[in-house]
Chain A
Amino acid sequence: VNRRILLLVGAVVVALAAVFLLYRRSVRTAAPGNIIIQAIRNDTVPMSRNARGPKSRTAPPLDPARLPELVRDTSWEVRLDAAAMVLETRELPQPRRAELLLDALGQEISTPASAPPLTGSYLPRTGVHRLHYVHLIEDLGPAAAGPARNAMQKESGARREWATIALGAAGGRDAAPALRQLLRSSSEAAVRMSAAYFLGRLSDRSAIDDLRAALGDSATARIMSDDTGTRGRTLYPVREQAAGALMVLGVKVERNGNTFTSN
């Protein structure tokens, strides 16, 4: 009983002390002297000031839940950033990442980047981006083959062609016949060039004849160089990649200017 009384008394004393302190503060604020000083100060609105502090270049964190929407964004810049985030989002399973990157690749074909060519490149910006997405899929390896295969079956036209290249990049050997077909008949030089490159990567020796034929491909490109000596130089990208693929397959190739020969 004594303890309870003591606790009760203690609580009352603490409460009274708190009330007293609050009262004293309010009395101080309302003291005549303070009132006059306030009136004299006639406090004005604080002036605007610039805050000095470190500037941040850190982009706001990206919501992984928005990735499916962002990789299909009509802005090529958003797509590129979103694709980079896809690779960094480790919690996503590899096939899902591949699907997202295939979506970015497909959107790049539907709404190609329109920025000026990059220094040193011989491709328009969209060509560089398409190769970039393909290489990201290549980095995922066999886990990307299934989604690429699905995309290849689902898509048509240029999207199907690039899905085929993506399947080859993922190491899908079943892409080889379609890649050979692309090398022979695609209307797009970047597709033929890429098909040649990945036929070499797939070590598809049955493609040697098609690759030899591609050494005479007439598609040209101009180099956007920051070296006035190289600037505007004409390049035969399909020939070059076909030559590279043949060399990977162990076929001897010789070059004389822009002419490639293989016996």
Chain B
Amino acid sequence: MLPLFCRAAPPRLHPPCPRHSTRLRLVVLPLLLLPLVGADHAQSKPDPKPIIRGILRYERRGVSAAPPTGLVTGVFVGAAAGVGSQRAVKGFFKAMSGAAALSGKSSTKDIHDLLRSTDNLDMSGWPVKAEYGADVSFTLEEGKDGVFQLKEGSVSWSTRNDTKIVLEGKDGNTHIFHDVARGQGSSALTPENSSITLRTEGKGKDATVTLDIDVKHTMPYDANALWSAMGGLSVLRIEEHAGTQQWHMNVLGQQYDEPPKSGEPSSGGFGYSRTTVLDSISRGREVWLNMYDSPERIEYQLFADCTAEIKRPIENDELAFDDKRPGKIEQYAKSEVIPDIWASAVRWVFPEIKGSKLEPAPEKAKGDSVPYTYTGLPDQNADFKFGDFVTDFDSKQATAAGCKGEKRPAAFFFSREANNNPGKPALPPGSSRSTPDPNWFYYWLQTKAAQGHAAQIRYSDGSDMARGELRCQPGGDYGVYLPETDYITVCNLAKVGFASRSYPGLGPVRNFHGIDVFGVTIRHEWQHFLDYRQWWGNPYGRYIDAFDKDGDKLPDKLEDSIVPPSPLNKRVAHFNPLVFDSALEGLGDEHTFAWAAEHEYPVGTADAEDWSCEGGHQAFSDKCKEVYQVKIGPPVKEVGPNQKVPE
């Protein structure tokens, strides 16, 4: 026999390989492994039996809905039963003779319609005021024959009767019949006491499905049947409590009470059948008159999964506060509930946004479609976030049927150019502006894009003056630094479309957008502040014109020793104290440091904190995503949100 394992070299664990054994083993091993693979597949993934769940509501009124206890009701029921029996027989022969054939896709309604068509009697007007109703939830499990059968379930039922007949006789001989019954309860449905099946017949387009329902349950109720004759001189009363009856009689003042007779409670239930095509079996609703001319109604829904799938907001949706003050998000949440009968039982939990008032209150957030409002923007940028919209079911029945809600994250954004944030404006000294800072400035200042300098950053909308001229010039100022001050000013970046480019020749060619423009602007102006402090503030306490003949903001006596920033230093060893633009860059010498410093700002460092709409880096759809297009050019180094910004 060919050994499965053999050795090609000395080790003694296995016998030596015979000639050509390798090829043979290549054949044999897969053959041996094949059943193992199959077995493993079968063991690791045992196919669960397919399950279908369902719910239904059934109602019946009139003669056939009456509980058995009752004097006058019994008469009517007996008569109706007689008529019904005749109809059943006539209907049977009618169907047999082909005079009225039922189609292959019929239901209980069609059968009753057929039976009722055999005569012209109408019992629907009989004065029996009785009703029976049942709410059923059930689980069907597929059997080996492919038929789904009842696995478990429950029924909640109620029955009621209030039938009264007064017969006025001669000489005051009035007869009063009054049957009252009332009962309700719930019980488990089991394959032993009930049957619900779902079976297919035929194939392809001709395939039909038959749903057969036969629900039975005990129906204990309390009843009181009264027959008063001769103006009350003779009274018969029957009391029933859950099957135990007791008769009471009073004739001409003589009271006679029989001892209670214990018995079993009555049984209740209903039946229904429907055969239809596959596409329409999942739900149904029918109303008909049965062969006792009693109205019946059924509504059911079958479902494989019971869910409240959130359709709105969509996953990772962008919810942006509007431009008004206070800013609002006015939306509605919508879920698709299967089965839809539990649509009103869907309960919503909306994400909390600190500092923003959420309506409706949790106890009112119910239903498959719920309007909601967030009013007021949060104080902190960190309170914008992805939050989960959550659904679940506030119904024991739904929970019992395995219904599950779901979570759907959506993101909250602020309107970038609105100014409805709750913060105080960061005014530059001397500014009398009363309007708040724009949202982008207020919230971005709380991010890494501010590079830790938030306390020394101001905003100018272009209306305030500094040293006799507009602080931010119209037409392109990004930021301003005034020598001898300890703060920098960011101008209205909306006016430049939140877009900037690096200075050609002072580092890689780059486009900056959105929050990165804010970041590089701060880095640029902060460099001016650092340069001022190094070359003027610390040594002299102020800027001195006389020490800077070329006006390039570098002290003349030091320029010979100041090395330009990279990559300029490859071409120019030092600056010239008499020349404003020593390196022929079209730029003052000190400014080369500010422009070069922009490349020190790690592009993308604040993306994870950017909740601006438009332009927010947390956005993923056209609603709030960045509006710019990436242009051709060299790749830009991307920085993760956790990377520390250099101080």
Are A52 and B620 closer than 8 Å at their CB atoms? yes
Q: Is A114 an interface residue (CB 8 A)?
A: no
**Interface set, chain A 229-250, CB cutoff 8 A to B:** 229-231, 233, 235, 237, 240-241, 243-244, 247
Determine if A203 is an interface residue (Cβ-Cβ < 8 Å). no
Interface residues on B, range: 35 or more
Shortest CB distance B501–A (Å): 8
Assess whether B260 is interfacial by the CB under 8 Å rule.
Answer: no
Question: Assuming A226-B480, A227-B480, is B282 touching A42 (CB within 8 A)?
Answer: yes
B635 interface residue, CB < 8 Å from A? yes
Complex CA distance for A85 and B635, rounded to whole angstroms: 10
Residue from A59, A197, A233 within 8 A of B584 (CB atoms): A197
Judge whether B467 and A228 touch: CB under 8 Å: yes
Q: Is the CB of B476 within 8 A of A116?
A: yes
Residue B170 at the chain A interface, CB threshold 8 Å: no
Residue in contact with A35 in the complex, picked from B207, B483, B630, CB distance below 8 Å: B207
Interface digits, B583-617 against A, CB 8 Å rule (1 contact, 0 not)? Answer: 01111100100110000000110010000000001
The reply to whether A55 and B477 form a contact with Cβ atoms under 8 Å apart is: no
B311 part of interface (Cβ distance < 8 Å): yes
When the two chains form their complex, are residues B509 and A81 in contact, meaning their CB atoms are under 8 A apart? yes
Chain B proximity mask over A55-97: 1 for CB below 8 Å, otherwise 0 = 1111110100000001000000110111111001000000000
Interface string of A138-155 (1 = CB under 8 A from B): 110000000000000000
Residues in B whose Cβ lies below 8 Å from that of A247: 576, 578-579
> Interface majority SS on B: helix, strand, loop or mixed?
loop
Are A57 and B576 also in contact (CB < 8 A) when A35-B207, A80-B509 are? no
Which among B309, B318, B553 has the highest number of chain A CB atoms within 10 Å? Answer: B553
The residue in chain A whose Cβ has the minimal distance to the Cβ of B35 is A17
Residues of the B chain whose Cβ atoms lie less than 8 Å from the Cβ of A32: 142, 146-147, 199-200
Task: Name which of A6, A119, A256 has the most chain B CB atoms within 10 A of its CB.
Answer: A119
21 A-B residue contacts at CB 8 Å?
A: A10-B31, A37-B52, A37-B304, A41-B305, A47-B314, A50-B317, A62-B633, A81-B631, A84-B508, A84-B509, A85-B632, A120-B594, A127-B586, A129-B504, A225-B588, A227-B483, A227-B553, A229-B482, A229-B543, A231-B473, A243-B578
Top 7 nearest A-B pairs (CB, nearest first) are: A120-B591, A132-B504, A81-B633, A32-B146, A50-B316, A10-B27, A123-B586
Q: List 18 extra interface pairs beyond A70-B632, A237-B581, CB under 8 A.
A: A6-B27, A32-B146, A32-B199, A35-B200, A36-B198, A36-B209, A47-B314, A50-B621, A81-B632, A120-B588, A122-B581, A226-B478, A227-B482, A228-B480, A229-B543, A233-B551, A240-B581, A255-B578
Q: Which residues of A contact B (CB under 8 A)?
A: 3, 6-7, 10, 13-14, 17, 21, 28, 31-37, 39-42, 47-53, 55-60, 62, 70, 77-78, 80-85, 88, 116-123, 127-129, 131-132, 135-136, 138-139, 193-194, 197, 223-231, 233, 235, 237, 240-241, 243-244, 247, 253, 255-256, 260
